[in-house]
Chain A
């Protein structure tokens, strides 16, 4: 009985020992890979890593080590915190130094033990700047600078004055507010990035232009539709009407440096709406109440006015200018009909010649200026800037006026390579056109009354002189004598 019992027990033990097994816990160590560098710039690095394992992990931290040496002494750590799932992770750091080599490795911390991935080498990039826009403007203008690898500590200087950096987008577009002007109106832009100085080739031009009222005109007469001429530093104005109502039979002269205008005797009978250039005047009629066209033609030379042969044409409100000693008379009105005729007067031979018609109606209110042997006009209908080459007898559109023309009779003069256009009736805008690159820049706005028109415009010594007459409805206001310094501030 006992033997049988022992036999059964032994059989059970044998079966139990054969079929039983221990459940062994397999501890799998995950693999860590430092994957690709997704992004590297001057100060910023974005890199991906991956935890590869077949089961969840209980990581107390994971991320990247970054160091300037391969031994990772005193590394910077990108800590991404706890993690359970395997897979990809992305770390980012934004405090690197430009143009420097770094070593990076991914890590994961499991049970206080760090497991590292492979080491990747990264070199931060060098910053640069390419261009900026706009290239001119007043204090407070927001300038956008294009570049690459711009860091968050980027500083921008206009000359020696620091601008306010407003935003840096994608480390490539920097917006900066222009600081107050210091002692120069044209300044270079310097960009300082982590101590590295970058500069832009083109300078920034502050909006300048200073208007100063020299004097009130010494007469109560407000000259409309008269003439103005200039011989060096001596300016002349006269004829036309007083406020467009009665004929003005006075003539005035001003020498730069004098206190005010001096009246001189009329060189001829008074004309209404004649043409006038620096040295010539003529045409027009005898007045609003006597609109019979006349063919008078006079020249100013060495301070003396002399009568010339009568004009071969009759017209009022024509526009006149001189190029290479020749006089050109363009457009005007005859019997109320606009004209596009162009006449050339050769001073050496005294011969008039008719050229091709202008492409649009022109009169004395059209903005125009002389530069480089060509006359430039702004078509008031579309603001196109057209150049007229009198030698080739050719017109072409070269640019477009960006501002407000007002109601005509504006300023159009040239100083050096810059043309100044604006201050039409009811407009306070003055624009500068760089004739070397046809770049437009606005000048400071006129500080006087815009309810006036320019009766006379002169240029001397880098300054623009204006006689401005208030509109007819303004009572008791004399004409004003202004000087405009385009570079003043």
Chain B
């Protein structure tokens, strides 16, 4: 009897109930997101207002533009400039608007539902001019041993003023380049009834111009802690050779912006988040607080940062013959105008 009881206990012992574990995921708020900046250059300057969704921007459409808001920029002397909504959620300043050095600017937002938001004041500090822009041809190893990344690294040269703390933010304007095609290699389509794939050279056109409207992929920020008062050079961006960009001449334009300490901190943290690669040394994902605040509820989280900056710009023409490394050129066996956006007339300011 005791033996049976012992066997029964041994049998029962490893059994246990499974309690389902319910993960209590809170429904995230749709947060107001502010993205944009103004500079001391003439406008239009763009401010984008969106409403975030719970789990990020992976799915297009979940980020909803905020429409019919009243958006204005107010300087520290009280001058209010209203922005116009040109497309859903995109508000632009008048063309003749340019921020003034020494003044502070505040972004004011009143949503159609009545909520009001404001930014903390952002002061326009002067920025050092760019002395020159140089470039280096680079070949970078990738995970694929047979395929390296080839491109051009742009470097800004400037002298940092010694009498003040400076914070820099570099962006690039849309690049423009000569599209080189080979219309003489044109062949008829395979469905051609008389001579499928037969040669049919075209007279026009071998060269066009294209302005790239690609989204900002990366940016660079720096403070002058390590080069205060010195002439310095900072790598700004890497433009990858996709086989088309550097077939002839490429024009890159760098914007060097003087921003506030708060804006620098914000952008530095954003840059850290953007460069998360999944390694154990990454910064933990975080919600970065900006400089926008709700007047109705100061504890409400508002994403984004309203930047007011002074700006200096410089452009550089990069010619193929000056590059040490180039990608295998992509052949366009047709009129160059078939490339979307390519035009025969050079873009404004094209002067290689």
B106 interface residue per 8 A CB criterion = yes
CA A88 – CA B293 in complex, angstroms? 10
For A170, the chain B residues whose CB sits under 8 A away are 72, 74, 80, 82, 108
Among A41-49, A406-414, A458-466, which stretch is in contact with chain B? Answer: A41-49
CA A41 – CA B299 in complex, angstroms? 24
Establish whether residues A46 and B118, one from each chain, have CB atoms under 8 Å apart when the complex forms.
yes
Chain B 114-125 interface mask (CB, 8 Å, partner A; 1/0): 000010110000
Chain B residue nearest in CB terms to A37: B121
Establish whether residues A41 and B298, one from each chain, have CB atoms under 8 Å apart when the complex forms.
no
A-B contacts, 8 of them at CB < 8 A, read A38-B293, A39-B118, A48-B120, A87-B298, A88-B293, A125-B77, A172-B79, A172-B80
How many of B's residues come within 8 Å of A, CB to CB?
17
CA A171 – CA B108 in complex, angstroms? 12
CA A125 – CA B120 in complex, angstroms? 18
Establish whether residues A38 and B298, one from each chain, have CB atoms under 8 Å apart when the complex forms.
no
Chain B residue nearest in CB terms to A44: B78
4 additional contacts (CB under 8 A) given A87-B298, A90-B298, A170-B108: A36-B120, A38-B293, A46-B295, A90-B295
Interface residues of B in 293-313 (CB under 8 A from A): 293, 295, 298-299
CB distance from B56 to the nearest CB of A (A): 26
| Given A46-B118, A87-B298, A39-B106 contact (CB < 8 Å) | yes
A89 interface residue per 8 A CB criterion = yes
Establish whether residues B77 and A38, one from each chain, have CB atoms under 8 Å apart when the complex forms.
no
A148 interface residue per 8 A CB criterion = yes
Chain A 43-65 interface mask (CB, 8 Å, partner B; 1/0): 00010100000000000000000
Within 8 Å by CB of A38, from B72, B79, B106, lies: B106
Establish whether residues B293 and A48, one from each chain, have CB atoms under 8 Å apart when the complex forms.
yes
A479 interface residue per 8 A CB criterion = no
| Given A36-B120, A37-B121, A90-B293 contact (CB < 8 Å) | yes
Chain A 370-390 interface mask (CB, 8 Å, partner B; 1/0): 000000000000000000000
CA A41 – CA B106 in complex, angstroms? 12
CA A424 – CA B298 in complex, angstroms? 62
Interface residues of A in 151-181 (CB under 8 A from B): 170-173
A149 interface residue per 8 A CB criterion = yes
For B80, the chain A residues whose CB sits under 8 A away are 148, 170-173
| Given A48-B293, A172-B80, A88-B299 contact (CB < 8 Å) | yes
Establish whether residues A125 and B299, one from each chain, have CB atoms under 8 Å apart when the complex forms.
no
| Given A48-B298, A87-B299, A88-B293, A38-B121 contact (CB < 8 Å) | yes
CB distance from B78 to the nearest CB of A (A): 4
For A172, the chain B residues whose CB sits under 8 A away are 74, 78-80
How many of A's residues come within 8 Å of B, CB to CB?
23
CB distance from B128 to the nearest CB of A (A): 26
List A residues at the B interface (Cβ < 8 Å): 36-42, 46, 48, 85, 87-90, 92, 125, 127, 148-149, 170-173
CB distance from B176 to the nearest CB of A (A): 37
Establish whether residues A38 and B118, one from each chain, have CB atoms under 8 Å apart when the complex forms.
yes
CA A172 – CA B72 in complex, angstroms? 11
Establish whether residues A148 and B108, one from each chain, have CB atoms under 8 Å apart when the complex forms.
no
Establish whether residues A42 and B295, one from each chain, have CB atoms under 8 Å apart when the complex forms.
no
Total inter-chain residue pairs, C-beta < 8 Å: 50
For B74, the chain A residues whose CB sits under 8 A away are 39, 170, 172
Pairs A-B, 5 closest by C-beta atoms:
A148-B78, A172-B80, A149-B78, A88-B298, A125-B78
Establish whether residues A36 and B295, one from each chain, have CB atoms under 8 Å apart when the complex forms.
no
Within 8 Å by CB of B77, from A46, A85, A148, lies: A148
Chain A residue nearest in CB terms to B118: A38
Chain B residue nearest in CB terms to A42: B78
Interface residues of B in 63-98 (CB under 8 A from A): 72, 74, 76-80, 82
CA A136 – CA B286 in complex, angstroms? 57
Chain B residue nearest in CB terms to A35: B120
CA A127 – CA B77 in complex, angstroms? 9
CA A148 – CA B103 in complex, angstroms? 15
For A87, the chain B residues whose CB sits under 8 A away are 298-299
CA A39 – CA B118 in complex, angstroms? 9
CB distance from A92 to the nearest CB of B (A): 8
For B299, the chain A residues whose CB sits under 8 A away are 85, 87-88
For A39, the chain B residues whose CB sits under 8 A away are 74, 106, 118
CA A200 – CA B298 in complex, angstroms? 39
Establish whether residues B72 and A36, one from each chain, have CB atoms under 8 Å apart when the complex forms.
no
For A88, the chain B residues whose CB sits under 8 A away are 293, 298-299
Chain B residue nearest in CB terms to A87: B299
For A48, the chain B residues whose CB sits under 8 A away are 120, 293, 298
Establish whether residues A38 and B120, one from each chain, have CB atoms under 8 Å apart when the complex forms.
yes
CA A36 – CA B104 in complex, angstroms? 12
Establish whether residues B78 and A171, one from each chain, have CB atoms under 8 Å apart when the complex forms.
yes
CA A171 – CA B78 in complex, angstroms? 8
Residue of B79, B118, B293 with highest tally of chain A CB at under 10 A? B79
CA A173 – CA B82 in complex, angstroms? 11
For B82, the chain A residues whose CB sits under 8 A away are 170
CA A173 – CA B78 in complex, angstroms? 12
CA A46 – CA B106 in complex, angstroms? 12
CB distance from B333 to the nearest CB of A (A): 49
For A42, the chain B residues whose CB sits under 8 A away are 78
CB distance from A56 to the nearest CB of B (A): 14
For B77, the chain A residues whose CB sits under 8 A away are 125, 148
Chain B residue nearest in CB terms to A90: B298
CB distance from B305 to the nearest CB of A (A): 15
CB distance from A398 to the nearest CB of B (A): 24
Chain B 129-146 interface mask (CB, 8 Å, partner A; 1/0): 000000000000000000
CB distance from A389 to the nearest CB of B (A): 33
For B72, the chain A residues whose CB sits under 8 A away are 170
Chain A residue nearest in CB terms to B291: A36
